[in-house]
Amino acid sequence: MTRLFNDPAAFADEALEGFAAAHRRWVRPVTGGVVRATATPAGQVAVVIGGGSGHYPAFSGLVGRGLAHGAAVGNVFASPSAEQIRSVARAAHGGAGVLLMYGNYAGDVLHFGQAAERLAADGIETRTFAVADDISSAAPHESAERRGIAGDLPVFKAAAAAAEQGLALDDVLRVAERAGARTRSFGIAFSGCTLPGADHPLFTVPEARMAVGLGIHGEPGIGEEPLPTADGAALLLVDTLLEELPEDVDEPAGQRAAVILNGLGSVKYEELFVVYRKVAALLDEAGVEIVDPEVGELVTSFDMAGVSLTLTWLDEDLAELWRAPADTPAFRKGALDAPVPDAREPLDDHAADTAVPAASEPSRHAAVTVLAALEAVAAIVGTHVDELGRIDAVAGDGDHGIGMQRGSAAARTAAARAQALGAGAGTVLAHAADAWADRAGGTSGALWGTVLRSLGTALGDQDAPDASRVAAGVTEASAAVRRLGGAEVGDKTMVDVLVPFADTLADAVAGGLALTEAWDRAATAATEAAAATAGLLPRKGRARPHAEKSLGTPDAGAHSLALITRAVYGALLDGPHDDHALDDRPHEDHLHDHH
Q: What is the set of active-site residues?
A: 217
DSSP assignment of 317-371? HHHHHHHS-EE-SS-EES--PPPPP--PPPP-TT----------HHHHHHHHHHH
Say if residues 94 and 123 touch (Cβ distance below 8 Å).
no
Closest to 400 (Cα-Cα) out of 536, 558, 548, 546: 558
Angle between helices 106-121 and 442-459 (to 10 degrees): 50
Q: Rounded to whole angstroms, how far apart are CA atoms 49 and 71?
A: 5
Coarse DSSP helix, strand, coil percentages of the chain, rounded to the nearest 5 percent: 50, 15, 35
Q: Rounded to whole angstroms, how far apart are CA atoms 194 and 203?
A: 9
Count CB atoms within 10 A of the CB of residue 488: 13
Count CB atoms within 10 A of the CB of residue 98: 32
Say if residues 163 and 171 touch (Cβ distance below 8 Å).
no
Residue 358: half-sphere exposure toward Cβ, Cα within 13 Å = 0
Say if residues 424 and 461 touch (Cβ distance below 8 Å).
yes
Residue 166: half-sphere exposure toward Cβ, Cα within 13 Å = 1
Q: What is the CA radius of gyration of the chain?
A: 25
Positive/negative CA dihedral, 76, 82, 88, 94: positive
Closest to 210 (Cα-Cα) out of 193, 227, 194: 227
Give Cβ neighbours of residue 545 (< 8 Å, ≥ 6 apart): 136, 137, 138, 213, 215, 219, 222
Say if residues 71 and 48 touch (Cβ distance below 8 Å).
yes
SS3 assignment, position 559: helix
Residue 160: half-sphere exposure toward Cβ, Cα within 13 Å = 30
Give Cβ neighbours of residue 199 (< 8 Å, ≥ 6 apart): 1
Give Cβ neighbours of residue 407 (< 8 Å, ≥ 6 apart): 435, 436, 437, 439, 440, 444, 445, 448
Say if residues 177 and 198 touch (Cβ distance below 8 Å).
no
76: alpha, beta or left, given left = phi > 0 and alpha = psi -120 to 50? Answer: beta
The residues that bridge with 231 in the sheet, in sequence order, are none
DSSP assignment of 201-212? -S----TTEEEE
575: alpha, beta or left, given left = phi > 0 and alpha = psi -120 to 50? Answer: left
What strands, in cross-sheet order, belong to the sheet with 289-296?
A: 223-226, 209-212, 183-191, 305-314, 256-263, 289-296
